[in-house]
Structures are given as C-alpha cells and as structure tokens.
C-alpha cells in the first residue's frame, strides 16, 4: 500500500509562490547592477550600412554599448547559423544590432533610440515555398543547405520510411490527400524573458541567473558562444515564470547580457517588455503539411505519406528537430503498415521558431486525426469505430521500432467515447443557430524521456543530516510543472521522512549533478528513477548501520515517521545517521546516483525504441458553434490519458487543464499575425489567449497501465494534454457544421466565411493549394 | 511631489515624480517585489493590488492617485497569526499555483471580490467567479483550479 504516492500533495514551495515571496528573475537586484536594453532592426531584411553609437554613448548614465564589431564570439543555435549581434545583414525583425548597459532601464531604452543605423532595405522572403525557388537569393549566409540538401535555403531535412508504400496503396479502398496549414503561436509565459549576469574579472567566472530549462546544455552553449570554458560559467535558476519549451534554446539576449557584464565590469540585467516578448521570443513551428492516407474496405489503415514544409525563419533553433517527434506520430499513432515522411525546414525572413510543449506533435496530430475522420466519412464508417480498430495495443513494436510494453490507447479511446456521449451527440439532428458537435483526437508521445542527446540521464545526490532532514540535490529543474513536489513525495514514500524535513536543491550548476533538462515530458520519469536509485543506495547505508546498532540481521526495514523498524526493533533515522557520522569509521550519510534510461538511440533511419515508455491519450471535445457570429465555444472536454500511474493527482490534473487551455487557444484564437516579417499583434490585447470565462469543464479519466520503466509505473504526462486538442476541436466543428477546416486557428471570421460560401468547399478552404516543392 | 498613503496598514510619506506608476512605487521604491509585472499594459492582472477595497492594475495607475488612500499588496495579507490568507490557503489546497507568476494577482483579485461579496452577503455563482477573474491571465493552470479555489472561499 502506498502512503504518499497517488494522493494529492500541495506544491512544495507553493506557499512562497502564492505569497509573493518567491524570487523570479524580475525580482533580482544586485549591488551596482546595470540595466540592459537591445536595439533590434527596424526592417526584417536589410543591409546594415553603418552603426553610430556616439550620441548614445554620451548620454549620462550609459556605461557601455556593444555591437558586432566590439565582440569576439561564435554563432549560436542548433546549426550555429545565428550571430548573437548582427553585422552586414539583418534577416528578421528580431535581429539584435546593438546593446546598451546603463544605470537605469529608462536611460538604457533612451540610449537605444539614440543609436543611428543606416540600412539598405531589401525585399525579404516570407513564404517558404518562395524561398525554395532557384531564383530566390540565399537568406542565411551560414546555412549549409546547398551542400547538405541541394537547396541553399533549406535549413534542415528529415526522411523516414517503413513498409511497402506501393503495395499498401494498392490495397487501399479509400485514399485521402489533404493539405493543412498551421500558424505561428507563442508561449506567452506570464513572466517575460529575463537574465542577470555578473562577471568576476579576478578569476574569469561568469554567473548567470537564467530561466533556462536546460542549464547544463545552456552552460555549454553559452561557453561556446563566448569562447569560455563551460565550468567557468555558473548557471543559477531563479523561480521560473513559465517555460513550455521557450527556454530550451539559448537566445541572443543571454550572451549579450553576459557581454555587457564583462565589458562594464558590473552586474547587468535584461528584462523583456511584453511587446519585446512577443517580438523576440520563440514560437511554435508554422508549417504546411500535405498528408495522404489510406485504408482498406474494412477501415484498416494501409499507409501514410507526408510531406512537410516548415517555416524555419531566419535562423535554426532546436525547433528544427521537431520532426523527430512528428515522424513518431505519423509512423506509430495507430497501426500503420507503411509510412513515408519527409520534412524540410526552410529559411525565410520571418522570425525563427523554437520548441513549444508538444514539439511538433500538435501539428502532426491535427493532420492525422482530420484525415481519419475524412476516411471514415468516405467509407461510411463511424469515426469512433475506425479509430478503435486501428488503435495501438500492448506489446506492439511499430514500424519505427517503438516498443509499447504497456499501452492505454484503446481504453483511453473507449473512455472518452462513452463519457462524452459521443454516439448520442452524433445522432442528434443539428439545425438552427447554435450547432453542436463532438470530435475525437488521440495522441502518442514519448513518456520516458527521449534519447536525442548523448545521455538522457539525470544525477541525484542525497544527504541525510544529523537531525534526520533529507536534502535531495537533483540535476532536474522545476519550471512550475511540479516535478520537485513529485520528488519529495517519492522520498516521503520510501524513507518515511515527513515533507517538512525534505529540501530539494535544484537550481545551481555549481552544485547539482548533470541532467539534460526539462523537455520531452521527462522530468518526473528520469529524475524520479534517479532518485529511486539513490534512495536504494542510502537505504543500504542506513541498513548496514542499523543492523550494527541493533544487533539484528535483516534487510527488510520499514521506514516510517522518521524511524526504521523491523519486528520489535526500531531506531530513529537521525540516530542512525549520527552514529554513522560520529562513531568509527566516521562516514557521511550521503550517496550519488546517476540514472540513464534504457531507451536507445535511433539508427540513421530513425528506427529504434527511443523512449523508456510511451504515453497515449484521447480527447472527445464538445463544441457549440454560433452560426450567426461564427464563434466556437468549447463546452466539454473529456480527456483520458495513459499516465502509467498517477503520482500526484492534483498536480496531474493541473497539467491537464493547463495543457488543454493552450491547446484550445491553438485551435480557436491564438495566432501571431505577420505582414512581411513584421509582427502586427505584439500584445495580449491583439494576441488572444483564453481567459477564465473561456475555459470549459474538463473531465479527466487517467488510465493506469503500470509501466515498469517508470517510477511506480508512471509515464511522462506534461505535454500530452495539448497535443490532440486542436485536432479534436477541428473535428468537432466539422461535425457541427458539415464544413471542414484545414488551417488553425478556427476563428469566427473563418467560420463565417466558410458558412457564407454557397457550396462549402470540402478542401483547400482557405488558401489555394500549392504543390509541395521537392528538393533534389 | 509628496505622497501620503497607507500601505499594508502603515501610513507612509514619499517624495515621488508625478509620472511614477503605482507598480514602480511598490516594486522599486518600496521594494515590495510580490506584485508582479506581467505586461505593464493593463492586460494581464499580474500586478493587481487593492486600493480602497478595489482590485486595480497597478501598472495602469499613477502613484499620485493613491494619495490619502489605502493600498494593500500581496505582502499585506500576511500577519503574525496567519501567514497565509484564506484565499491563498484555498489556492494551495486546490492546486491553483504552478509557476506562480500570476498567483499574487489572482489572490488580490479574488480577495477584493470575495470581501465585497461577503460584505454584501452574496454567494456568487461559478459564472460570476469566472467573470471576476477575467482580467487575470494565467498560462499554466487553465484557470480551472483557480476558479475552484475562489469558489471555495465561500464554502
Ligand atoms: S502588469 Fe499590469 S496588467 Fe499586466
Ligand atoms: S501559474 Fe503560471 S501563469 Fe499562472
């Protein structure tokens, strides 16, 4: 019987957060600290003729100014195609030209206005299809597209296939080919981007208070950018006001802040304004997906063939690697005998996309789930039935080599179909002003980390002190998702130490052991397993000492209420530790453990069991569409997710609801509107996120499959809730209106336009279909 | 100019520039960092504080306008017997706090609203509770738990 796991526990440092005592990057003030500000380009595509900083420098209170000419640095980014400060050319409206450090933020902002830049404006390229044309000039001078992919503006390319496509096409009774367009949306963390940097010129050490999600990769990246030794850089994470993937890449403002601190000899802080946050922080990948899928006369899927053009923007971030995740959904969400996947990220003069919760999967899932409904329609089969007969099952090894040792796909689907009254709603005639519809969407995502870096591991150090307090030093990070609470719960469960006596230390790279970082829904899984490994070691230590002290022979101790117990023998934990410490041979009660998940690297064809386990989920979403205003209202969301095992119910529910809110925004309201590379809605007023009144009722049904790879059988859960949401909503709107939408968001205007068209078009609703250009 | 006002129960007199915003007075001059800057454009509610019983966005409010008035920030909810206000307790119980950057604003908005409801002897409906929080954005929680917590204040 579990005492702690599976029961709701409040957030470990929730009191600090809810009382305003938690220290975020915005709250840090160091002695003599300066404030930094960045000059960004006026035009998204131009040549820089000259930069004159003299007026700005003479402004009282300005301490230093840097431009590309003042610094000796390396390019940054996943493809090292991104200069921190630009010279020669600017390629997108985020581009950093100069940075100022001044005594106050106002002075720094004023100084920025005084920097004179002369530009030669160029016609930019804002459409990736245009960028692929022979006649289009090269956009990123560091891009290796010509050598690597046969097209100068290709930033990254992925190809995957399994099965015999032609054979499966021949078997198909129905083939559906559709083109989907996905918008640019952004994380919109409520805390804007921030960093504080301090340089010690005695020993050449740099301290960064940074909101990164991946401190150890970040340390290495900053070191490379600044040509420093990584170990001279100490990364301290203050409390982070939202991540969602936005802090996976290191962004130019971070090394810029470090450079200002190095040059001025004083600490420097950069805080983004909300407008700057919209303009200059990452986005989800916009893309055009052309998906062809088939099924036989019984509705069994035969093949999927997909061609994706992603708008990479001007530089390449981790976001370019989202096809790793997308191809898993195309190859392995449902049983698919044959699959061919091609994805090309193309440079444009748009801002570059980064990584965002779901990592390409919401886009892929939207296309897959829409095509499934279309195939069912064509066959005259129920949308529920076609999913059930193709769903994944336990024991399956997919064409890509993903091994589903446990699988809750069918139970999840069945649950949401039943709970949402799917059949009844679908059978209800739908006329009048308000039309109701329900739609289904399922998803597959990694649940046990993802081996994409050389190690997907996490280290843990444990210490029990003379008073029976436990310190967990974990490599993993907390970005609000609640992982540190889960770690404390595991320790409470295993060691019987109460919550008040547990400390989690996880914010300082000088102290904590290595970990990849927060991504791929991995933290509870990887850090949890690492902690369990460490606990096993510390129990061995405690057991050895207790045996000696009590003169019994056992390794079957019960740990509860700060005691170790075996039959009639018992001893206080702190007493054991003190004896260990103060009596010969004088030892500390400390251990180190490193956990590396059993997942494998994929081979060069992207085949292999890449994650420790896999999460499955289905959603049935009920909407009501107002045919007069075009508004879509989400009424009910039924979510069923294979989480392996519920660790902290209240934390899990929070992840569900938060993910869904972002997913609903993606489906219905959120879109960054660009005109020729310039963002037209950089504010919360123009960029419509959900508010409290838009949130529907959420009905969550966890499926527990007890996967042996995860801590207590659990699987990663954080990203999944938003992955199938847009897909299910689009299907619901289509079922309500009989009109299908192939692009997001499904705004009121789009609905009205679709309803106004005399014969609602079945495809290519919002844009002329363009052929997907193939590269050589 | 000279400003005299009550903050978290204490009268203070402060020399300020007329253009100073209330949020800057609170965070920079008085060093009360619990009030959060989410947008400084009046759109997110992270900077909510209570002035004479009403929750307002301190980023849209000139400091001079609090002259002679009573301001409560998140720090003002703490007292010796109760380190947390009931609204905060409910938020924690219901799991309404994730990254927490919106939380002080959510707390202040809920407190102002519930104080009024309780004074008037009204128990608001769930829809009314939702409405009261409409000006406060949260990117982490999807609001459901925050609404649950705010409703629980009346139980
Ligand atoms: S900071 Fe005041 S409303 Fe956003
Ligand atoms: S908890 Fe993160 S913004 Fe609300």
Verify that A298 and A442 share a domain, yes or no: yes
Tokens linked to B116: 């009024």
Report, as an integer, the average pLDDT of B103-120.
97
* Together in a domain, A394 and A507: no
**Which residues in chain B are contacts of A187 at CB distance < 8 A?**
139
pLDDT digits (tens, 9 = 90+) for A531-585: 999 999 999 999 999 999 999 999 899 999 999 999 999 999 999 999 999 999 9
The mean pLDDT value of chain B amounts to 97
A187 touches chain B (CB under 8 A): yes
Regarding whether A477 and A328 lie in a shared domain, the answer is no
Q: Counting beta carbons within 10 angstroms of the beta carbon of residue B121, is it exposed (0 to 12), middle (13 to 18) or buried (19 or more)?
A: exposed
Of A547, A575, A595, at which residue does a domain stop?
A: A595
Look at strands A558-560 and A502-505 and give their pairing: unpaired
pLDDT at A713 over 60: yes
Token pair of A330 as six digits: 């195309």
Q: Give the separation between CA B38 and CA A190, rounded to whole angstroms.
A: 5
In angstroms, the CA B121 to CA A211 distance is: 44
Bond prior to A585 in cis (omega within 30° of 0): yes
Please give the average per-residue pLDDT across A296-323, as a whole number: 97
Both A95 and A212 in a single domain? yes
Residue B47, ligand 1, Cβ within 6 A: yes
Q: Alpha-carbon distance A573 to A321, whole Å?
A: 48
Domain ranges for chain B: 2-76, 86-152
pTM: 0.95
What is the reported pLDDT for A597?
87
Quickly state the pLDDT bin for A760 (edges 50, 70, 90). Answer: low
**For residue A295, pLDDT beyond 90:** yes
Alpha carbon nearest to ligand 2 atom 2, residue? B99
Structure tokens at A440: 């289904």
Q: Give the pLDDT band of residue A757 (cuts 50, 70, 90).
A: confident
* Closest-CA residue to B74 (of B62, B83, B64): B83
* Of A405, A423, A401, A406, nearest in space to A414 by CA: A423
Tens digit of each residue's pLDDT (9 = 90 or more) over A660-702: 999 999 999 999 999 999 999 999 999 999 999 999 999 999 9
In a domain, A7, yes or no: no
Q: Which residue from A18, A656, A683 is facing B97, i.e. has the nearest CB?
A: A18
* pLDDT per position as a tens digit, A251-261: 999 999 999 99
Res. A772 pLDDT band, cuts 50 70 90: very low
- DSSP-derived letter for residue A509 is T
CB neighbours (10 Å) of residue A52? 13
Q: Are residues A720 and A682 in the same domain?
A: yes
Contact B137, A689 (CB under 8 A): yes
CATH code assigned at A252: 3.90.1170.50
pLDDT recorded at residue A708:
92
Domain of A115, in residue numbers = 34-123+191-241+247-280
Which of B40, B92, B144 shows the shortest C-beta gap to A18? B92
Give the mutation candidate from B95, B109, B141 for the A interface (greatest A CB count, under 10 A). Answer: B95
For every residue of A399-435, DSSP letters joined together read TT--B-SS--HHHHHHHHHHHTTHHHHHHS---SSEE
Q: Do residues A16 and A257 make contact, with C-beta atoms less than 8 angstroms apart?
A: no
- pLDDT tens-digit series, residues A335-356: 999 999 999 999 999 999 999 9
Residues A756 and A621 in one domain: yes
> How far is A570 from A564, CA to CA, in rounded Å?
6
Ligand 1 pocket: which of B44, B49, B62 to mutate (most atoms within 8 A of CB): B44
Examine the pLDDT at A766 and tell me if it is beyond 70. Answer: no
- Regarding whether A223 and A90 lie in a shared domain, the answer is yes
**From the CA of B21, which ligand is nearest?**
1
pLDDT range class, residue A1, cuts 50, 70, 90: confident
Of A11, A22, A693, the CB nearest to B131: A693
Both tokens of A445, joined, read 């995502």
Task: Report the top-level CATH class of B2-76.
Answer: alpha beta
Q: How far apart are CA A718 and CA A615, in angstroms?
A: 10
A537 in the same domain as A610: no
- Report the DSSP beta bridge partners of residue A270: A195
Say yes or no to pLDDT of A517 above 90: no
Q: Which residues contact A79 (CB under 8 A, 6 or more apart)?
A: A142, A143, A144, A155, A156, A315, A316, A320
Whether residues A607 and A741 fall in one domain: yes
Q: Which CATH number fits domain B86-152: 1.10.150.120, 3.40.50.300, 2.60.120.200, 3.50.50.60?
A: 1.10.150.120
Identical topology for domains B2-76 and B86-152: no
For A582, residues 6+ apart whose C-beta sits below 8 A from its C-beta are none
The pLDDT value given to residue A767: 28
Instruction: Return the pLDDT at A521.
Output: 72
Residue A477 has pLDDT above 70, yes or no: yes
- b or e along A504-541 (b: 16 or more beta carbons within 10 Å of the residue's beta carbon)? bebbebeebbebbbbbbbbbbbbbbbbbbbbbeebbeb
What is the average pLDDT value for chain A, to the nearest integer?
94
For the segment A230-278, what is each residue's pLDDT rounded down to a tens digit? 999 999 999 999 999 999 999 999 999 999 999 999 999 999 999 999 9
**Is A495 inside a domain boundary?**
yes
Query: Could you give the CA distance from residue A225 to residue A387 in angstroms, rounded to a whole number?
Result: 48
* Average pLDDT for A401-405: 96
The conformational region for residue A498 under phi > 0 = left, psi -120 to 50 = alpha, else beta, is beta
Q: How far out from the chain centre does Cα A32 lie?
A: 36
Question: In which element (H, E) is residue B30 found?
Answer: none
Contacts of A684 in chain B (CB under 8 A): 39, 41, 43-44, 137
pLDDT band at B132 (very low <50, low <70, confident <90, very high): very high
**Residue, of B132 and A603, whose pLDDT is higher:** B132
Distance from C-alpha of A633 to C-alpha of A696, rounded to nearest angstrom: 8
Q: Give CA angle at A495 (A594, A239), nearest 5°.
A: 60
**Given this model, what pLDDT does residue A522 score?**
82
Give the per-residue pLDDT at A773: 37
- Residue A304 confidence (pLDDT): 98
How many CB atoms are located within 10 Å of the residue A763 CB? 12
> Are A464 and A476 in contact, with CB atoms under 8 Å apart?
no
CATH number for the domain harbouring residue A467: 3.30.365.10
* % of chain A exceeding 70 in pLDDT: 97
Looking at ligand 1, which atom is closest to the CA of residue B45?
3
The residue whose CA has the least distance to atom 3 of ligand 1 is: B42
On whether both A657 and A554 belong to a single domain, the answer is no
Residue A670 and residue A768: Cα distance in Å, rounded? 22
Task: Give me the number of domains chain A comprises.
Answer: 3
- pLDDT value, residue A775: 37
Asked if B36 and A26 come within 8 Å (Cβ–Cβ), the reply is yes
Over residues A743-754, the pLDDT tens digits come to 999 999 999 999
Closest CA to A746 of A728, A757, A764, A733: A733
Set of chain B residues whose Cβ sits within 8 Å of the Cβ of A18 = 84, 88, 91-92, 97, 100, 103-104, 107
Contacts of A657 in chain B (CB under 8 A): 141-145
Distance in angstroms between the alpha carbons of the first and the last residue of chain B: 46
Q: What is the DSSP string of A6-24?
A: TS----TTHHHHHTT-S-B
User: In the prediction, which pLDDT does A27 show?
Assistant: 98
Q: Is residue A504 part of a domain?
A: yes
- The H-or-E segment that residue A539 falls in is helix A523-550
- Two tokens at A439? 């739609």
What is residue A445's three-state secondary structure?
A: strand
pLDDT tens by residue, A418-474: 999 999 999 888 889 999 999 999 999 998 877 777 888 999 999 999 999 999 999
Res. A776 pLDDT band, cuts 50 70 90: very low
- Is A387:A336 a contact under the CB 8 Å cutoff? no
Do A74 and A105 lie in one domain? The reply is yes
Of the residues A548, A571, A595, the one at which a domain ends: A595
Q: Distance from the CA of B60 to the center of ligand 1, in angstroms?
A: 8
Q: Do both A261 and A112 map to the same domain?
A: yes
Q: Which one of A257, A280, A303 terminates a domain?
A: A280
Per-residue confidence band for A758, with pLDDT thresholds at 50, 70 and 90: low
- Region of poorest pLDDT, from A502-506, A510-514, A769-773: A769-773
Backbone angles phi, psi at A263, to 5 degrees: -70, -40
CA distance B78 to chain A (A): 8
């Amino acid at each position: 019987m579990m005492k702690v796991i599976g029961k709701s526990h409040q957030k470990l440092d929730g009191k600090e957060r809810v009382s305003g005592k938690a220290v975020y990057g915005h709250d840090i003030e160091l002695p003599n600290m300066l404030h930094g500000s960045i000059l960004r380009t006026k035009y998204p595509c131009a040549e820089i003729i000259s930069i004159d900083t003299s007026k700005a420098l003479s402004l009282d209170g300005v301490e230093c100014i840097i431009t590309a000419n003042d610094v000796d640095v390396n390019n940054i980014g996943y493809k090292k195609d991104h200069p921190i400060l630009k010279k020669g050319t600017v390629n997108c409206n985020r581009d950093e030209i100069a940075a100022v450090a001044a005594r106050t933020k106002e002075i720094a902002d004023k100084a920025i206005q005084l920097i004179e830049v002369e530009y030669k404006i160029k016609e930019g390229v804002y459409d990736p299809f245009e960028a692929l044309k022979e006649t289009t000039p090269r956009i990123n001078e560091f891009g290796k597209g010509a050598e690597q992919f046969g097209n100068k503006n290709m930033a990254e390319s992925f190809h995957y296939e399994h099965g015999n496509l032609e054979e499966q096409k021949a078997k198909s009774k129905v083939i559906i080919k559709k083109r989907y367009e996905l918008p640019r949306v952004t994380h919109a963390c409520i805390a804007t981007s921030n960093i504080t940097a301090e340089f010690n010129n005695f020993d050449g050490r740099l301290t960064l208070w940074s909101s990164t999600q991946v401190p150890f990769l970040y340390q290495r990246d900053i070191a490379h950018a600044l040509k420093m030794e990584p170990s001279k850089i100490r990364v301290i994470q203050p409390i982070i006001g939202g991540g969602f993937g936005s802090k996976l890449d290191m962004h130019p403002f971070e090394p810029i802040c470090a450079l200002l601190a190095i040059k001025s000899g004083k600490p420097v802080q950069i805080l983004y304004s909300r407008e700057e946050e919209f303009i200059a922080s990452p986005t989800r990948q916009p893309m055009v997906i052309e998906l062809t899928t088939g099924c036989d006369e019984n509705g069994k899927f035969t093949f999927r063939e997909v061609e994706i053009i992603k708008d990479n923007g001007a530089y390449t971030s981790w976001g370019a690697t989202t096809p790793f995740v997308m191809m898993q959904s195309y190859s392995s969400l449902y049983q698919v005998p044959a699959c061919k996947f091609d994805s090309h990220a193309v440079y444009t003069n748009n801002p570059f996309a980064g990584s965002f919760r779901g990592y390409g999967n919401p886009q892929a899932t939207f296309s897959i789930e829409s095509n499934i409904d279309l195939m069912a329609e064509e066959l005259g089969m129920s949308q529920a039935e076609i999913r059930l007969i193709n769903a994944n099952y336990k024991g399956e090894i997919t064409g890509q080599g993903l091994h589903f040792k446990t699988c809750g796909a069918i139970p999840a689907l069945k649950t949401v179909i039943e709970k949402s009254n799917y059949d009844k709603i679908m059978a209800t005639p739908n006329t009048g002003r308000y039309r109701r519809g329900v739609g289904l969407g399922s998803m597959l995502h990694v649940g046990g980390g993802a081996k994409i870096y050389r190690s997907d591991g996490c280290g843990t150090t444990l210490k029990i002190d003379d008073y029976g307090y436990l310190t967990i030093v974990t490599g993993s990070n907390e970005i609000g998702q609640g992982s540190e609470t889960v770690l404390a719960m595991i320790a409470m469960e295993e060691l019987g130490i109460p919550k008040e006596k547990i400390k989690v230390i996880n914010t300082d790279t000088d102290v904590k052991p290595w970990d990849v970082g927060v991504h791929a829904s991995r933290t509870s899984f990887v850090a949890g397993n690492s902690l369990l490994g460490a606990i096993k070691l510390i129990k061995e230590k405690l057991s050895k000492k207790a045996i000696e002290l009590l003169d019994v022979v056992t390794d079957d101790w019960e740990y509860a209420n700060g005691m170790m117990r075996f039959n009639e023998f018992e001893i206080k934990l702190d007493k054991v530790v003190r004896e260990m410490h103060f009596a010969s041979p004088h030892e500390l009660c400390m251990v180190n453990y490193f956990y590396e998940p059993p997942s494998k690297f994929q081979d060069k064809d992207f085949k292999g069991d890449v994650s420790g386990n896999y999460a499955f989920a289905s959603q049935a979403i009920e909407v009501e569409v107002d045919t007069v205003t075009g508004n879509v209202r989400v009424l009910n969301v039924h979510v069923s997710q294979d989480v392996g095992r519920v660790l902290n119910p209240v934390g899990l529910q929070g992840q569900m609801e938060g993910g869904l809110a972002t997913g609903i925004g993606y489906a219905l309201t959120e879109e960054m509107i660009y005109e020729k590379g310039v963002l037209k809605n950089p504010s919360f007023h123009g960029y419509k996120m959900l508010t409290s009144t838009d949130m529907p009722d959420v009905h969550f049904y966890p499926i527990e499959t007890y996967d042996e790879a995860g801590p207590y059988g659990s699987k990663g859960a954080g990203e999944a809730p938003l992955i199938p949401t847009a897909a299910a909503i689009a299907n619901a709107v289509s079922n309500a209106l009989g009109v299908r939408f192939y692009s997001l968001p499904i705004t009121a205007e789009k609905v009205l336009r679709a309803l106004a068209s005399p014969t609602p078009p079945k495809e290519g609703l919002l844009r002329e279909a363009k052929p997907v250009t193939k590269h050589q | 100019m000279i400003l005299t006002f009550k903050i978290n129960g204490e009268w203070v007199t402060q020399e300020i520039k007329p253009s100073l915003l209330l949020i800057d007075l609170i965070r920079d001059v008085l060093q009360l960092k619990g009030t959060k800057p989410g947008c400084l454009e009046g759109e997110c509610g992270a900077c909510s504080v209570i002035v004479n019983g009403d929750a307002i966005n301190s980023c849209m409010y000139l400091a001079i306008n609090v002259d002679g008035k009573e301001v409560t920030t998140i720090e003002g909810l703490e007292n010796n017997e109760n380190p947390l206000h009931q609204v905060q307790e409910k938020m924690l119980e219901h799991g309404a706090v994730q990254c927490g950057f919106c939380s002080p604003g959510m707390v202040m908005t809920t407190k102002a609203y519930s104080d009024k409801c309780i004074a008037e002897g009204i128990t608001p409906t769930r829809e009314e509770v939702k409405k009261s929080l409409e000006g406060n954005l949260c990117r982490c929680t999807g609001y459901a738990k925050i609404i649950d917590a705010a409703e629980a204040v009346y139980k």
